[in-house]
Structure 1
Amino acid sequence: MVAAALAEARRAKGLTQVEVAAALGRRQPFIANIESGERRVDLVELIDLAAIVDLDVPELVRRLDTTGK
Protein backbone atom coordinates (compact mmCIF):
# COMPACT_ATOMS: atom_id res chain seq x y z
CA MET A 1 0.00 0.00 0.00
CA VAL A 2 2.89 2.40 0.67
CA ALA A 3 4.32 1.80 -2.80
CA ALA A 4 0.93 2.33 -4.42
CA ALA A 5 0.31 5.51 -2.42
CA LEU A 6 3.68 6.92 -3.45
CA ALA A 7 3.10 6.09 -7.12
CA GLU A 8 -0.42 7.55 -7.04
CA ALA A 9 0.76 10.76 -5.37
CA ARG A 10 3.62 11.09 -7.86
CA ARG A 11 1.30 10.72 -10.82
CA ALA A 12 -1.26 13.10 -9.28
CA LYS A 13 1.43 15.75 -8.99
CA GLY A 14 2.40 15.15 -12.62
CA LEU A 15 5.92 13.98 -11.86
CA THR A 16 7.87 11.26 -13.60
CA GLN A 17 9.97 8.70 -11.80
CA VAL A 18 13.02 10.41 -13.29
CA GLU A 19 12.01 13.76 -11.79
CA VAL A 20 11.40 12.29 -8.34
CA ALA A 21 14.67 10.37 -8.45
CA ALA A 22 16.56 13.51 -9.47
CA ALA A 23 15.03 15.44 -6.57
CA LEU A 24 16.38 12.75 -4.24
CA GLY A 25 19.77 12.58 -5.92
CA ARG A 26 19.02 9.02 -7.05
CA ARG A 27 18.50 7.23 -10.34
CA GLN A 28 15.11 6.29 -11.81
CA PRO A 29 15.39 2.54 -11.04
CA PHE A 30 15.41 3.43 -7.33
CA ILE A 31 11.89 4.87 -7.67
CA ALA A 32 10.74 2.09 -10.02
CA ASN A 33 11.85 -0.56 -7.53
CA ILE A 34 9.98 1.15 -4.70
CA GLU A 35 6.80 1.60 -6.72
CA SER A 36 6.87 -2.00 -7.94
CA GLY A 37 7.32 -3.32 -4.41
CA GLU A 38 10.75 -4.78 -5.15
CA ARG A 39 12.31 -2.43 -2.61
CA ARG A 40 10.95 -1.28 0.70
CA VAL A 41 11.42 2.28 1.88
CA ASP A 42 12.69 3.17 5.29
CA LEU A 43 11.10 5.96 7.29
CA VAL A 44 13.63 8.61 6.26
CA GLU A 45 13.18 7.74 2.58
CA LEU A 46 9.39 7.79 2.98
CA ILE A 47 9.48 11.25 4.53
CA ASP A 48 11.76 12.54 1.75
CA LEU A 49 9.62 10.99 -0.99
CA ALA A 50 6.40 12.21 0.60
CA ALA A 51 7.69 15.78 0.67
CA ILE A 52 8.42 15.66 -3.05
CA VAL A 53 5.06 14.17 -4.09
CA ASP A 54 2.95 15.95 -1.42
CA LEU A 55 1.91 12.75 0.33
CA ASP A 56 0.52 13.11 3.86
CA VAL A 57 2.50 10.52 5.83
CA PRO A 58 0.37 10.64 9.01
CA GLU A 59 -2.75 10.07 6.89
CA LEU A 60 -1.05 7.18 5.09
CA VAL A 61 -0.15 5.61 8.43
CA ARG A 62 -3.76 5.98 9.62
CA ARG A 63 -4.98 4.23 6.46
CA LEU A 64 -2.45 1.45 6.99
CA ASP A 65 -3.55 1.10 10.60
CA THR A 66 -7.21 0.72 9.69
CA THR A 67 -6.60 -1.68 6.79
CA GLY A 68 -3.99 -3.75 8.61
CA LYS A 69 -1.63 -3.72 5.64
Structure 2
Amino acid sequence: MKKSIHDERYRLLILRLIELRKQLQITQVALAAALDRPQSFVAKVENFERRLDLVELADWLTAMKADPQKFLASLDWFAETALAPTKSGPT
Protein backbone atom coordinates (compact mmCIF):
# COMPACT_ATOMS: atom_id res chain seq x y z
CA MET A 1 0.00 0.00 0.00
CA LYS A 2 1.29 3.43 -0.95
CA LYS A 3 1.74 6.07 1.70
CA SER A 4 -1.37 8.20 1.67
CA ILE A 5 0.55 11.39 0.91
CA HIS A 6 1.49 9.84 -2.46
CA ASP A 7 -1.98 8.47 -3.18
CA GLU A 8 -3.49 10.13 -6.24
CA ARG A 9 -6.76 10.73 -4.36
CA TYR A 10 -4.90 12.62 -1.63
CA ARG A 11 -3.06 14.70 -4.19
CA LEU A 12 -6.38 15.60 -5.85
CA LEU A 13 -7.80 16.57 -2.45
CA ILE A 14 -4.92 18.96 -1.78
CA LEU A 15 -5.04 20.40 -5.29
CA ARG A 16 -8.76 21.06 -4.79
CA LEU A 17 -8.04 22.76 -1.43
CA ILE A 18 -5.48 24.99 -3.13
CA GLU A 19 -7.93 25.80 -5.92
CA LEU A 20 -10.65 26.65 -3.39
CA ARG A 21 -8.30 28.83 -1.34
CA LYS A 22 -7.31 30.77 -4.44
CA GLN A 23 -10.94 31.08 -5.63
CA LEU A 24 -11.81 32.56 -2.25
CA GLN A 25 -8.80 34.89 -2.55
CA ILE A 26 -7.32 33.68 0.73
CA THR A 27 -3.55 33.79 1.01
CA GLN A 28 -1.50 31.12 2.72
CA VAL A 29 -0.67 33.70 5.38
CA ALA A 30 -4.34 34.51 6.02
CA LEU A 31 -5.29 30.83 6.14
CA ALA A 32 -2.45 30.07 8.52
CA ALA A 33 -3.56 32.93 10.79
CA ALA A 34 -7.14 31.59 10.80
CA LEU A 35 -5.78 28.16 11.72
CA ASP A 36 -3.48 29.67 14.37
CA ARG A 37 -0.55 27.97 12.67
CA PRO A 38 2.58 29.26 10.94
CA GLN A 39 2.44 29.92 7.19
CA SER A 40 4.94 27.10 6.71
CA PHE A 41 2.25 24.63 7.87
CA VAL A 42 -0.01 25.63 4.97
CA ALA A 43 2.92 25.60 2.55
CA LYS A 44 4.03 22.13 3.62
CA VAL A 45 0.54 20.73 3.14
CA GLU A 46 0.16 22.38 -0.25
CA ASN A 47 3.61 21.15 -1.33
CA PHE A 48 2.74 17.56 -0.29
CA GLU A 49 5.37 17.58 2.45
CA ARG A 50 2.85 17.18 5.27
CA ARG A 51 -0.37 15.19 5.43
CA LEU A 52 -3.67 16.56 6.72
CA ASP A 53 -5.78 14.31 8.90
CA LEU A 54 -9.57 14.42 8.95
CA VAL A 55 -9.80 16.85 11.87
CA GLU A 56 -7.26 19.19 10.26
CA LEU A 57 -9.20 19.03 6.98
CA ALA A 58 -12.36 20.06 8.83
CA ASP A 59 -10.46 22.93 10.51
CA TRP A 60 -9.00 23.97 7.13
CA LEU A 61 -12.44 24.11 5.50
CA THR A 62 -13.93 25.94 8.49
CA ALA A 63 -11.13 28.51 8.38
CA MET A 64 -12.00 29.14 4.72
CA LYS A 65 -15.73 29.24 5.56
CA ALA A 66 -16.29 26.41 3.07
CA ASP A 67 -19.05 23.83 3.31
CA PRO A 68 -17.39 20.45 4.02
CA GLN A 69 -20.18 18.48 2.32
CA LYS A 70 -19.98 20.55 -0.85
CA PHE A 71 -16.21 20.32 -0.82
CA LEU A 72 -16.20 16.53 -0.49
CA ALA A 73 -18.93 16.21 -3.12
CA SER A 74 -16.70 18.21 -5.49
CA LEU A 75 -14.12 15.42 -5.33
CA ASP A 76 -15.23 12.95 -7.99
CA TRP A 77 -13.39 10.02 -6.42
CA PHE A 78 -14.97 10.70 -3.02
CA ALA A 79 -18.48 11.24 -4.35
CA GLU A 80 -18.27 8.00 -6.32
CA THR A 81 -17.19 5.90 -3.35
CA ALA A 82 -18.07 7.38 0.02
CA LEU A 83 -21.34 9.03 -0.99
CA ALA A 84 -22.61 6.12 -3.05
CA PRO A 85 -25.64 4.25 -1.69
CA THR A 86 -24.65 1.27 0.42
CA LYS A 87 -26.13 -2.17 0.15
CA SER A 88 -27.98 -3.19 3.27
CA GLY A 89 -28.36 -6.72 4.38
CA PRO A 90 -26.67 -9.39 6.44
CA THR A 91 -22.90 -9.56 6.38
Which TM class, normalised by the smaller chain length?
Answer: 0.7 to 0.9
Q: Which residue, 29, 32, 46 being the options, matches 1:21?
A: 32
AA partner of residue 40 (structure 1)? R
Higher-RCO chain (CA-CA 8 Å, sequence separation at least 6): 1
Flag the structure with larger Rg: 2
Q: Which residue, 40, 44, 48 being the options, matches 1:33?
A: 44
1:1-69 equivalent positions in 2, closer than 5 A? 1-53=12-64, 54=66, 56-60=70-74, 62-65=75-78, 66=80
Gaps of 5+ in 1: none
Structure having the larger proportion of residues in helix = 1
How many positions carry a matched residue from both structures? 66
TM-score, normalised to structure 2's length? 0.63
TM-score, normalised to structure 1's length? 0.81
Gaps of 5+ in 2: 1-11, 81-91
Distance (whole Å) between structure 2 residues aligned to residue 8 and residue 58 of structure 1: 14
Percentage of matched positions with identical amino acids: 37
